[in-house]
Amino acid sequence: MSDSSPLWEVFVRARRGLAHTHVGSLHAPDAELALRNARDLYTRRQEGVSIWVVPASGITASSPDEKDAFFDPAADKVYRHPTFYEVPEGVAHL
């Protein structure tokens, strides 16, 4: 099954205005069947208005054990947050 029916990751947009969210995975031989299976499996109760299916083999993920090194650059850039800046007394709309 793994060769002839690969794994697909399923993302569903619950309502207009929301981003697609990962809901689970399934096996299907091609994209069209993956989409149909995803509809039957993950939206039986009107859970979505749009579905993406992505071959699981096409996803490149960061690895949890390189968490420190990989996400470090974000930790030392506090100036990316608005709270870093001092706003003088009396300034509005900022």
Partner 1 sequence: MYGNDFSGEDAPGGLLGEVEAAEAALRAAAERDRGAAGPGEDLAAYFAQVIDADQKIEPRDWMPEAYRRTLIRQIAQHAHSEIIGMQPEGNWISRAPSLKRKAILLAKVQDEAGHGLYLYAAAETLGISRDELVDLLLNGRQKYSSIFNYPTLTWADVGAIGWLVDGAAIVNQVPLCRCSYGPYARAMIRVCKEESFHQRQGYEILHVLAHGTPAQKAMAQDALDRWWYPSLAMFGPPDGDSTHSAQSMAWKIKRFSNDELRQRFVDMCVGQAEVLGLTIPDPDLRWNDERQAYDFTQPDYAELMQVISGNGPCNRERMAHRRHAHTEGAWVREAAAAYAAKQKNKEKVAA
Site membership for partner 1, residue 89 (CB under 8 A): no
Q: Candidates 15, 18, 21, 41: give the one binding partner 1 (CB under 8 A).
A: 41
Site membership for partner 1, residue 88 (CB under 8 A): no
For residue 66, the one-letter residue type is E
Contacts of 89 (CB under 8 A, 6+ apart): none
Site membership for partner 1, residue 20 (CB under 8 A): no
Distance (Å, whole) CA 92 – CA 94: 6
Under 8 Å between Cβ of 39 and 1 = no
Q: Which residues bind partner 1 (CB under 8 A)?
A: 1-2, 4-5, 7, 24-30, 33, 40-41, 44-45, 61, 63-65, 67-68, 71
